[in-house]
Amino acid sequence: MRIHTASVAAALGLALAISGEARAATTFLFEFSSKRGADGTANSPIVGTGTFTSSINLGPGVYALSSLTGYSMSFTFGNTTYTNLNIATPLSEVAVDVTSFGAGERLVFTENGPVGDGGPYKGSLDLVSGSSYLTFEPSLFGGHDYFGERSGGSLYFANYLATSETQTTGLLSGLTPRTTSQDAPAPAPGAGLAGLLGLCALHLVGRLRSGASRRS
C-alpha cells in the first residue's frame, strides 16, 4: 500500500502540535511593591520583578515544587538577583498554589503539606544570597500576599503579585495537582510565632494582619 508523504507529514505535525500543547510552558511574572495594599495587588512603586516558569502547563491547583521538573525562577531587586540556586528552604516543604485570576492565573508560594517553613527565615519559601534574603509569607500569617526582602541596605515587607504571562489550552494536562487550592492544609489551630522571633519583616506583616482582624 502506498502512503502519501503529505498525509504522513500532516499526521506528524498534528501529533507534535498535540504534544506541544500538552507540555506548553507556563510563565508567571512577579511584581514586588514597596508598600502594602489590598490582597491580590502590587501597587507602584515596584521595587522588584521576577519570573517563575514551569516546563509543564500548570492549571489551578497546588503543586509540590519538587514535582515540577524543569522549573526556573529568578527575582531581581536592584543589583541583587535570586534564582533556583539561592533556595534555602527544603524543596520537599515548598509548593506553588495556582488559582484563576481574571482572564489568567495567579501563583503564590505555600507549604507542601502540614510541615513546612523550614528555611532560615521561616517563610513558605526562603532564598538567600550572601547577606541578602527574600522570603515569602507563610500560611500561619493568614495569607500568601506578602514578601520580605533585604539587600543593599534596603528592607521591604509589602505585597507581591505573580500572574501568568500567557494561558495555554493544551488538550492534555501536563501534571496533576497534588490537591486543589481549597483542600490545601490549613495551619494548625493556635499556631503562634514561636521560633520566628527576629524575622522582622514577616513578623510585622503578621502583627498587621492580627491587628486588622481584631479591629474587624
Residues 159-190 pLDDT 10s: 999 999 644 333 233 344 443 333 333 333 33
pLDDT of residue 96: 95
DSSP codes joined into one string, 59-118? -SEEEEGGG-TT-EEEEEETTEEEEGGGB-S-GGGEEEEEEEETTEEEEEEEESSS----
- Separation CA 76–CA 82 (nearest Å): 6
Of the chain, the percentage scoring pLDDT greater than 90 comes to 46
- Separation CA 78–CA 162 (nearest Å): 19
pLDDT of residue 152: 86
Question: What's the grid cell of residue 149?
Answer: 526582602
Residue 134 is inside which H or E element, if any? strand 132-136
Name the least confident of 14-18, 34-38, 109-113, 206-210.
14-18
pTM score of the predicted model: 0.69
Across all residues in the chain, what is the average pLDDT?
A: 73
pLDDT of residue 115: 65
pLDDT of residue 116: 67
